[in-house]
């Protein structure tokens, strides 16, 4: 039969083994001293860093002469035991830096956290010292500081996702770039916030998780997905983005792994980027303008060698279509019964490109219905932009345009204070609608065409 004293002794042995296992399993080096400065505990991390085994360390009084130089022993001992008698520090905890000696004689500067050990009655019975090499500690603190800086006041947007591509952290720059509060993004899949371009983003994230991150910065054009339920910090729904409004995000991808295991699965990916939409669009606009100016210059030089005004007009149409539209129609005005108010438009030239070859319609009067964009441009003297082929299959047919047309730009031909006709540019499937810059370019082309038509004298001369 087991007596109570034997049971208590067995529990004590079990507790001692548990304490020993906990100390040896710690990632930090640790030793403990009693109130007299005698070593009572020495774990395996301390043995790994300094080379002294627990059998060699436990029981020694103080660290001087073996783990600390004799010249430093008094100072180190006072700092270790200082937590026992300092009343100015109610927590009984201090962070210290001091040099220790390895068993091979080398010196090691450590950063240590020294804490008092108290009995149930509050009396100090000793102290323990958890320490690590100061350079390793500084590296850890720098890493933590870097993480906090990136997620706080970094000039770059930082978005962290887990292996399931769900957002786990986002800084303020992300909110500015995407018009989404970080709170709304946390825990949500990225696919909830992006439309076009999401496949490229997912591919980059998945390759990074697999250890094949892109070598250099990646430029992604993304369209933000519409969410009618989203609200800002004041509870106000955001202004819907314009159709086709894309953002160019330039950045890199970093695979995040645990430093505690050499072959641990990835913790996620950090996407660090900047919104460079404005500069990229400005660059694209400059390149587009330079190309179009070059086309106008080449067309003018080629047309100058033409004797036939109609041939010169066709050259202008061919040069204008490159990169601008798929089809162009030139309709010249011929006075009708009501003269200036109801002119007849005669198809003079057309320049097909991607569309199917049209039926020859040169010289045939075009019967546009009232309110047609070409008639509006002629009557008002300003460019008219229209779109609608995407939603209506009969839209192009109603306007007497090729069936593939989805976007149109109609520009009036003006020369010597007269309206001579209408120039129509058409874009097909997959192209964006005409914008103001396109209308300005269309007017430049129309000025050159108007000069060619006016030079011919009339539609019959062309």
Name which residue leads in pLDDT, 262 or 152: 152
CATH of the domain at 364: 3.30.450.40
Kindly report, residue by residue over 204-255, the tens digit of the pLDDT: 888 888 888 888 888 888 888 765 444 554 444 444 444 347 888 898 898 8
CA distance 50 to 66: 10
More confident residue, 323 or 27: 323
* Overall average pLDDT of the 398-424 stretch: 87
Residues 310, 451, single domain; the answer is yes
**In a shared domain, residues 155 and 129:** no
In total, how many domains does the chain have?
Answer: 3
Q: List phi, psi (to 5°) of 74.
A: -65, -45
Looking at residues 284-292, what average pLDDT do you find? 84
Output the pLDDT for position 90: 59
Decide if 422 contacts 442 (C-beta within 8 A).
no
The CATH number assigned to the domain holding 212 equals 3.30.450.20
Residue 6: inside a domain: no
Q: What mean pLDDT do residues 259-274 have?
A: 77
Residue of 202, 219, 218, 204 lying closest to 166 (CA atoms): 202
Q: Same domain for 445 and 302? A: yes
Task: Decide if 129 is inside a domain.
Answer: yes
Where does a domain end: 114, 139, 164? 139
Co-location of 408 and 302 in the same domain: yes
**Euclidean distance between CA atoms 271 and 206, whole angstroms:** 12
Given a cut of 90, is residue 297 above it in pLDDT? Answer: no
| Edge-to-edge strand list for the sheet holding 339-352 | 365-366, 339-352, 327-336, 418-427, 407-415, 384-387
Is 106 within a domain? yes
**Is residue 31 one of the residues assigned to a domain?**
yes
For residues 297-305, give the mean pLDDT. 81
Mean pLDDT (the chain) is 79
User: Does a structural domain hold residue 146?
Assistant: no
The answer to whether the pTM exceeds 0.75 is: no
Cα angle 295, 448, 356 (rounded to 5 degrees) comes to: 65
Q: Give the model confidence (pLDDT) of 65-99 as tens digits.
A: 898 898 888 888 888 888 887 554 556 678 888 88
* Least reliable range by pLDDT among 18-32, 287-301, 328-342: 328-342
b vs e for 225-252, b when ≥16 Cβ sit within 10 Å of the residue's Cβ?
Answer: eeeeeeeeeeeeeeeeeeeeebbbbbbb
At 176 the pLDDT is 81
* Last residue of one domain, picked from the residues 110, 139, 168: 139
pLDDT of residue 361: 53
- Lowest-pLDDT choice from 10-19, 395-404, 445-454: 10-19
The DSSP call for residue 102 is -
**Domain match, 118 and 89 both:** yes
**Judgement on whether residues 289 and 318 belong to the same structural domain of the protein:** yes
For the segment 289-299, the average pLDDT, to the nearest whole number, is: 83
Let me know whether 107 and 173 are in one domain: no
Q: Are residues 106 and 235 in the same domain?
A: no
Tell me, yes or no, whether 336 and 268 share the same domain. no
Query: Are 185 and 204 in the same domain?
Result: yes
Q: Is residue 440 domain-resident?
A: yes
Do 448 and 316 belong to one domain?
yes
Confidence of residue 111 (pLDDT cuts 50, 70, 90): confident
Whole-number pLDDT of residue 236: 47
Token pair 């020993």: residue: 20
**144 lies in a domain?**
no
Residues 208, 322, single domain; the answer is no
Q: Is 46 helix (H, G, I), strand (E, B) or coil?
A: helix
The residue segments making up the domain with residue 257 are 151-275
Q: Is the residue at 45 inside a domain?
A: yes
CB of 213 closer than 8 Å to CB of 253 = yes
Determine the Cα–Cα distance for residues 207 and 178; give it in Å rounded to an integer.
23
Q: Domain end: 246, 275, 304, which one? A: 275
């Amino acid at each position: 039969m087991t007596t109570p004293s034997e049971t208590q002794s067995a529990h004590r042995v079990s507790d001692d083994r548990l304490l020993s296992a906990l100390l040896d399993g710690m990632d930090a080096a640790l030793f403990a001293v009693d109130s007299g400065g005698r070593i009572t505990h020495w774990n395996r991390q301390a043995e790994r860093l300094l080379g002294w085994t627990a059998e060699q360390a436990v029981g020694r009084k103080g660290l001087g002469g073996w783990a600390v130089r004799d010249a430093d022993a008094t100072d180190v001992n006072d700092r270790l035991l200082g937590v026992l008698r300092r009343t100015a520090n109610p927590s009984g905890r201090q962070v210290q830096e001091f040099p220790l000696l390895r068993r091979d004689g080398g010196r090691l500067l450590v950063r240590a956290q020294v804490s008092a050990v108290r009995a149930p009655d509050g009396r100090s019975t000793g102290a323990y010292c958890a320490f690590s090499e100061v350079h390793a500690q500084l590296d850890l603190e720098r890493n933590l500081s870097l993480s906090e800086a990136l997620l706080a006041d970094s000039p770059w947007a930082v978005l962290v996702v887990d292996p399931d591509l769900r957002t786990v952290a986002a800084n303020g720059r992300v909110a500015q770039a995407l018009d989404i509060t970080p709170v709304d993004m946390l825990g949500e899949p990225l696919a909830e916030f992006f439309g076009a371009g999401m496949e490229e983003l997912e591919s980059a994230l998945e390759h990074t998780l697999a250890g094949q991150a892109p070598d250099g910065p990646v430029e992604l054009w993304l369209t933000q997905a519409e969410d009618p339920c989203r609200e800002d910090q004041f509870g106000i729904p955001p202004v819907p983005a314009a159709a086709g409004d894309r953002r160019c995000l330039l950045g890199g991808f970093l695979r995040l792994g645990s430093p505690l295991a050499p072959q641990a699965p990835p913790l996620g990916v950090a996407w660090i980027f900047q919104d460079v939409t404005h500069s990229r669009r400005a660059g694209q606009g400059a390149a587009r303008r330079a190309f179009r100016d070059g086309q106008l210059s080449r067309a003018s030089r080629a047309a100058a060698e033409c004797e036939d005004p109609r041939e010169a007009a066709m050259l202008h149409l061919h040069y204008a279509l490159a990169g601008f539209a798929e089809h162009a129609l030139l309709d010249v005005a011929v006075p009708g019964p009501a003269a200036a108010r109801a002119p007849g438009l005669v198809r003079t030239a057309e320049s097909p490109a991607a569309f199917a070859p049209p039926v020859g319609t040169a010289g045939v009067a075009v019967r546009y219905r009232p309110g047609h964009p070409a008639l509006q441009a002629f009557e008002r003297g300003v460019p008219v932009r229209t779109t609608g082929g995407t939603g209506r299959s009969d839209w192009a047919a109603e306007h007497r345009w090729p069936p593939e047309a989805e976007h149109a730009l109609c520009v009036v031909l003006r020369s010597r204070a007269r309206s001579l006709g209408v120039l129509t540019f058409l874009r097909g499937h997959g192209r964006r609608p005409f914008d103001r810059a396109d209308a300005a370019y269309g007017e430049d082309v129309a000025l050159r065409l108007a000069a060619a038509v006016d030079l011919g004298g009339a539609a019959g001369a062309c």
